[in-house]
Amino acid sequence: MKDTINKNQFINWFRSNEQYKNNFSYEGLSALFDYLEEMEESTGEELDFDPIALCCEYSEYDSFEEFQEDYDGKELYPTLDDLEDYTTVIRIKNSDSFIIQQF
């Protein structure tokens, strides 16, 4: 048995949860939801809504420099395009922010 949730329900769950409300920005949540929906459509496989797993699996960064500091990756990942060779990068529209799948 699966529940279907829309983008507003997805965003509202995170924004209203005291423990997880700061994991992603509003724009990040919107981009993550769109990415997950596209993944469902391309694979034909329905995903379970597991917000805690999403918080463990994905991280949002305000800038590429912030990512490089976190991962000490200036040599391994000189550009965001290089990073895409190693993991999923979800770019957030009209922003320098992005979400990566942790690795």
Tens digit of each residue's pLDDT, the chain (103 residues): 567 899 999 999 999 999 999 999 999 999 999 999 999 999 999 999 999 999 999 999 999 999 998 887 677 889 999 999 999 999 999 999 999 999 8
pLDDT at 2: 67
| pTM score, whole prediction | 0.91
Question: Quick check: 11 and 37 in contact, CB under 8 A?
Answer: no
Q: Which amino acid is at 47?
A: L
Element at 61 (helix H, strand E): strand 58-61
pLDDT at 102: 93
pLDDT at 72: 78
